[in-house]
Amino acid sequence: MKECTKSNAAENNLPMRISKCSFFYFFVICIIFFISGCGNEDARTIKEIETSGECEPAVSPDGGYIAYTKEGEDEIWLFEMATEESEYLTNGSLPDWSPDGKEIVFVKDRDIYKMDIETAEIQRLTTWGSCFFPDWSANGEFLAFDCTIGSMDSNGIWIMDLSNDNTNHLGLGREPDWHPLNNRLSYVGGVINVLFGEIFAVDTSGENVIRLTDNQVDDYCPVWSPDGSKIAYVSATHIENETPDYFVYNIWIMDTDGVNKTQLTSVSGRYNGAYDPAWTSNGTRIVYARGESFERENVIEVINHIWVMDADGGNKRQLTGKVIETFGCK
C-alpha cells in the first residue's frame, strides 16, 4: 500500500523512479471539454471531473476508503468507496494506513510524516536523508521505509520503533513491505552488474534473504496479501518489434516462495501500464493504478486512474477519474 518512488537509485543498482505514478508518466494532462450539437436533444457533452490523475492507492483497514496521491500535484486525497467521491486530505505522497485506520503515514519533501485523520494533526518522523515508501507493520508498532543519506553504508531500508522513534538500519534495498506476522519484509533489491530491480524477502533481523524474482526485467512494488500467502507486484514485459526496446508494466501475483507467478492485468501499449498494487484487508481484491495514453496535438500524454479487481484478476473496474456524460446544451 504505497507508492513506488525511488531516488538516487544508481547508488543502489536500481532504476530511478521519482514516484510510483511518475515512472512512465511524462505529462500531466487535463481532459478537454467537448461540446457539440447545441439545440439537439440528443447532443452530449463530455464534462471533466479531475484535472490530473490518481496513483499510489492505499486501502483503509475497514475497506471504506482509499488514500491516493493526486498525480503531479503532491496531494493526498481520500476516495470513499460507498459514494465514490473524493476529498482533499493533505499535501504529500505515498500514503499508508495505520492498522486501526486512525492515522496515515506519508512522504513530504523527502521526509516521513504521520497524520491523525480525525484531528488533522501532523507529526514529522524523519529529519535526515531522502526517505520514501513508508509501510506500517500490522501490529502498529513499527514503520519500515527506505532512505538515501549519501553514504552507501547508510542507504537502504530502515525500521523505526514508533514507541520511541529509535531506528534500525537494515540496508538491503528499497520499497519495504511488512509481512502480516511482522517478522519479515519484502523489498526491491539491486543485483551486481544487473540494471533491473528484483524482489526479495528477508527476516526483520536481516537474515534469511530469499530472492523471489529472476527474470531480467524490472520487478518492483511487492506487497504481501493479508494472510501472508501471496505477494502482488509489478513486472515488465518486453514489447516486440520496438526499437529502442520498450516494456509494458502489469500487476502480477506469486506465492511467497516465488513460484506460481501469474499475470493479473493485461494492459498493452508502449505508454500504458498497471502499477501500485494494494490489497484490501480481507484479501479478496487488489486496488491499483492504471495508466492510459492518447495523442493530443501530436503529443503522447498519459494519465493514471485508480482501478480495483478481484484477487484473481477478474471483475476489473475503474474507480477514479471517470468521465460523465451530460445531455443537451449547458
CA distances (Å), origin 211, targets 2, 163, 190, 247? 21, 32, 11, 22
Confidence (pLDDT) at 242: 59
Q: Report the distance separating Cα 115 and Cα 103, nearest Å.
A: 5
Pairing of the two strands 299-310 and 285-296: antiparallel
Q: What order do you get walking across the sheet with 75-80 strand by strand?
A: 54-59, 65-70, 75-80, 85-91
DSSP E strand boundaries for 16-166: 34-35, 44-47, 54-59, 65-70, 75-80, 85-91, 93-97, 103-108, 111-116, 122-124, 130-136, 142-148, 156-161
Q: Is 85 exposed, middle or buried (0-12, 13-18, 19+ CB in 10 A)?
A: exposed
List Cβ neighbours of 232 (8 Å cut-off, separation of 6 or more): 222, 223, 225, 251, 252, 253, 264, 277, 279, 286
172 phi/psi in degrees, rounded to 5: 80, -60
Asked if 223 and 232 touch (Cβ cutoff 8 Å), the reply is yes
20: pLDDT confidence band, cut at 50, 70 and 90?
A: very low
Q: What angle do CA 262, 268, 274 make, to 5 degrees?
A: 60
Q: Is the pTM of this model over 0.75?
A: yes
pLDDT of residue 232: 98
pLDDT of residue 99: 97
Encode pLDDT of 105-157 as tens digits: 999 999 999 999 999 999 999 998 999 999 999 999 999 999 998 766 678 99
Domains delineated in the chain: 9-327 (2.120.10.30)
pLDDT of amino acid 243: 54
**pLDDT digits 0-9 by tens, 246-282:** 789 999 999 999 999 999 999 988 788 999 999 999 9
Distance between CA atoms of residues 195 and 209, nearest Å: 20
- pLDDT recorded at residue 330: 31
Which pLDDT value is given to residue 247? 83
pLDDT at 174 > cutoff 80: yes
- Identify whether 222 is preceded by a cis peptide bond (ω within 30 of 0): no
Region 291-297: mean pLDDT is 78
Q: Which residue has the cell 528477508?
A: 202
Angle in degrees, CA 286, 59, 57, rounded to 5: 75
Q: Helix, strand, or coil here: 237?
A: strand
What is the chain's mean pLDDT, rounded? 82
Which pLDDT band holds residue 321 (cuts at 50, 70, 90)? confident
**Stronger pLDDT, 9 or 162, i.e. the higher one:** 162
Question: How distant is the alpha carbon of residue 195 from its chain centre?
Answer: 21
In the 8-state DSSP scheme, what is residue 10? G
Residue 250 CB neighbour total at 10 angstroms: 22
Rg (CA), the chain: 20
Mean pLDDT computed over 230-234: 98
* 277 to 8, 20, 44, 210, 238: CA distances (angstroms): 23, 11, 35, 21, 20
